[in-house]
Amino acid sequence: MRARRRRRIVSAAGVLTAACGWFLLTGLWGIQAPEEHPNFVSQAAEELHGPPRGGVSGAVSAVPARVLSPAAQDEDAPEIPERPAEPEESVPAEAEEPVLQEAPDGYFDDALFIGDSRTQGLELYGGIDEATYYTSIGLMVNTALVKTVATVDGTPMSIPDALDRQDFGKIYVMLGVNELGWKSQDRFIEYYGQLIDTIREKQPDAVIYIQTIIPVTREKSESDATYNNTRIALFNSCIDKVVENRDVVLLDVGAALRDEEGFLPQNGSFDGVHLNQEYCRKWADFLRASTVAE
């Protein structure tokens, strides 16, 4: 099987203006305390309420890209009559710029979003209604392959089972905020890698977009020992390691949402962590402007 190329897209910070400021998201998503952080008291999940999903605000310009080196190709082995030589150590090939574009009409018809309560907000208020969503409050990289979060033809099932029954052209993943209390970053990298590899096995032809963890507000970051931007930066660096040598596109979603100091603006969240309707639509607009040409 030929080696797949790995691609990384990191957006420029600057973005869009949404036309939905008078609708604010109400309700609260709980953040589940991971098993490795037993002393953290998880927030209670409340039922989501709010205005119905609507259209999308203003368009976003295409963002510039930076690309990781593509997967290495073995060098040609010297000719030996009896037995071919073992391939020498591979050398990364020259990076190629991915082609980015605004999402054409119907782009998200065969898209799947996998995530936790933040992605639930995107589903409710981002306006990408045509996509499929496998989401659950408190979902983490170590539960995403075993927890029942998908429903296919009315039957609840795990993500791997659902991927055996449905075909997708694009798969978006955002996880990591619930794992910020984990003591072991190595386990985070391991579990996230297993999730990506399983998705690739089940959906070999899909474009897999891995989204970085969105920052929290300054107030939340400075008052919480776990859910703060220092921890988010640490786990985003782990995601950098996860995507190495994997055929995925890494999207820096935070670049479209954070302020000049790196925080999620206070008016972009009702609890410091989860996005309100306006910022869910900013997130969706960023995704529409950051698609790989088919």
For 7-21, 100-114, 143-157, 234-248, which range has the lowest pLDDT when averaged over its residues?
7-21
- Is residue 243 within 8 A of residue 210, CB to CB? The reply is yes
| pLDDT tens-digit readout, 221-238 | 999 999 999 999 999 999
54 or 124: which leads in pLDDT: 124
- Is residue 241 within 8 A of residue 16, CB to CB? The reply is no
User: How far from 127 is each of 21, 48, 116, 285, CA to CA, in Å?
Assistant: 15, 16, 17, 9
Using the predicted structure, report yes or no on whether residue 84 has a pLDDT greater than 60: no
Using the predicted structure, report yes or no on whether residue 153 has a pLDDT greater than 60: yes
**Torsion-angle region of 176 (φ positive above 0: left; ψ -120 to 50: alpha; else: beta):** left
Instruction: Catalogue all structural domains in the chain, each as residue range(s) with its CATH number.
Output: 7-36+48-70+98-292 (3.40.50.1110)
Look up tokens 């973005």; give the residue: 15
Task: Name the amino acid, one letter, at 98.
Answer: P
pLDDT band at 50, cuts 50/70/90? Answer: very low
Using the predicted structure, report yes or no on whether residue 71 has a pLDDT greater than 60: no
- Is residue 54 within 8 A of residue 127, CB to CB? The reply is yes
pLDDT of residue 167: 97
| pLDDT > 90 in the chain, percent | 65
pLDDT of residue 293: 80
For 8-22, 214-228, 243-257, 273-287, which range has the lowest pLDDT when averaged over its residues?
8-22
pLDDT band at 83, cuts 50/70/90? Answer: very low
Using the predicted structure, report yes or no on whether residue 152 has a pLDDT greater than 90: yes
33 or 248: which leads in pLDDT: 248
Which of 102, 143, 137, 107 is closest to 120 using CA atoms? 137
Using the predicted structure, report yes or no on whether residue 51 has a pLDDT greater than 90: no
pLDDT of residue 88: 53
Grouping H, G, I as helix, E, B as strand and the rest as coil, residue 5 is coil
CA Rg value for the chain: 20
* pTM for this prediction: 0.72
* Element containing residue 125 per DSSP (H, E): helix 117-125
Spatial distance between the Cα atoms of 233 and 262, rounded to a whole number of angstroms? 10
H runs (alpha helix) in 126-180: 159-163
DSSP label of 265: P
